[in-house]
Amino acid sequence: MDIKRIYSELLDVQLSVDALRERVDELGIYSNSIQEKNGSILFLVRSDNGKRLVVLKEGPVFDSFEGEELIKGGVKICPLNEANSKVLRTLFPYTAPSSHSEHPITIGLGDRLGLASVGHIRLVKDYPVFPILAQQSIRELNLTDRTYNDVLNSASWAVFQEGYTKGFGADGDHLKTPEEVDMALDKGYTMLTLDCSEHIDNDIPDDSPSDIRSKYNALSREIRERLEEKYLGKTFDITDDYSISFSLDDLMKVVLVYIDAIDFTIEIYNRHIKSLNRPIDFEMSIDETLTSTSPEAHYFVAKELIDGGVEITSLAPRFCGEFQKGIDYIGDIDQFTNEFTAHFAIAEHFDYKISVHSGSDKFSIFPIIGDVTQGRYHLKTAGTNWLEAMKVVAINEPDLYREIHEFALENLNEAKAYYQIGADTDNIPSLDTLSDEELPALFDNPDSRQVIHITYGLILQAKDEDGSYVFRDRLYGIWNRYEDDYADLLIEHIGKHLESLQIDKS
Ligand SMILES: [Zn+2]
């Protein structure tokens, strides 16, 4: 709909909320977004050029937004830009992210495209789940050509659109450097996930005992004496029937694998986070590494961090088995259950949340997570909102989907530089053999899922010789047109996650 035509119409609705409510469909208004504030009326509308904020009636609120005054002092059409996002968050604090430490179940949903939060909100509003709507790693920012401002602004506008007032978080995910941490904090992010993978020594578990001893002896005597006195010959009770102790061999190994990661985390926390005058949910992640975290290692890392002054909100160990993106858990379920139970007990002992990453589609272990934790955890689902967005394309624009699917297969090797997956393309049926109606079923094929899952950056960034996007603009056009269909797919897909985690509606 042409926005100017809409607002010549608005002249005769007498600018009252009741009158607007009667005409939301006709005027393209998102009905849950209608708000009155200090004498002005605000709401979001759909238009041919994307969503816009409309502010009616002169006053301080009207004046505070940038935009085109269609009718002087009466109707202003405002872009959803950075300046207006800031004003929105000041006027309506629920559109700004907040700390989640008081909420037992928190789920990182993320929104690679800036379009998924609407569906996420429509789902979680009925559940005792605090959503981290904005959650992006630097890798994802780079691969999607977005910024932290943009990611947060998309979440704020989705919250406003849906009239969702229960709060949400913003996670600077898998940050690796002090500069990245400062950037996320500067943009108002409320959660920080510090990725320590580059400070973990993955060679140690394969080293010979004599190598381990000589590497250990190369540490300063002061450090060795402090740690040996603290950990050797002691029993650390975790629960009534579970305790942890360390032999010298155990201790040497965990020290050598994790000591740099611990020092790095303490340094980042004390220098960049501790002095802030707002609460930050701080997560230490040691998940993206080859070495799976033993319960002893988890205990050691946590104890050192806490004794070093770090306030941990959550910690993400590397669990046994494989957590590949977008498909179910691969591994021994009994072993996972035992180790997860131990990791959870350690997290409870120190009073922080256990965090599970790459948690999309891990349906075979969700019931275990729900059961063992009795509803206290942080779960990051990552990127399946992208897969659902591509399913929208497969359903509604099969020709474009076919083009993209072939492109993804052709460029798979390049994408594998960023994401490790085990997809076997021989298991993906050739598109020539599939009718249009059969295309959506490709999203039930694990190998096909993974191929589309990891090629998102290449798909979104592909350009012609003349510099224009090959797919990106067409894709966003489709996603805007099928916004409600996309939301419905997310509600169904993420809804299955909540059900499998045994979360009851609130
Ligand atoms: Zn992770």
Provide the 8-state DSSP code for 271: I
Closest CA to 484 of 421, 369, 395: 395
Choose the catalytic residue: 162, 201, 283, 288.
283
What is the pLDDT, as a whole number, of residue 316?
A: 97
* C-alpha to C-alpha distance for 312 and 298, rounded to whole angstroms: 13
Mean pLDDT of 465-474: 95
Flag whether pLDDT at 13 surpasses 70. no
Cβ-proximal residues to 12 (8 Å cutoff; 6+ apart), any chain: none
Query: How far is the centre of ligand 1, averaged over its atoms, from the C-alpha of 231 (Å)?
Result: 28
Query: How far is the centre of ligand 1, averaged over its atoms, from the C-alpha of 408 (Å)?
Result: 24
What is the pLDDT, as a whole number, of residue 383?
A: 72
Average pLDDT value over all residues in the chain: 94
Residue with tokens 């816009």: 52
Mean pLDDT of 380-405: 94
Query: How far is the centre of ligand 1, averaged over its atoms, from the C-alpha of 288 (Å)?
Result: 6
pTM above 0.85, yes or no: yes
* C-alpha to C-alpha distance for 174 and 186, rounded to whole angstroms: 16
CB 505 within 8 A of CB 368: no
**406 burial level (CB within 10 Å; 0-12, 13-18, 19+):** exposed
Q: What is the share, in percent, of the chain residues with pLDDT greater than 90? A: 84
Active site residue 283: yes
What is the pLDDT, as a whole number, of residue 11?
A: 59
Closest CA to 389 of 297, 340, 304, 453: 453
Position 483 confidence tier, pLDDT thresholds 50, 70, 90: very high
Mind listing the pLDDT tens digit for each residue in 24-49? 998 899 999 999 999 999 999 998 78
**Beta-sheet strand order (sheet of 52-56):** 35-37, 40-45, 52-56, 75-78, 68-71
Choose the catalytic residue: 162, 171, 173, 296.
173
**261 burial level (CB within 10 Å; 0-12, 13-18, 19+):** buried
Query: How far is the centre of ligand 1, averaged over its atoms, from the C-alpha of 223 (Å)?
Result: 29
- Residue 491 structure tokens: 């509600």
| Torsional sign, CA 447, 448, 451, 453 | negative
CB 109 within 8 A of CB 123: no
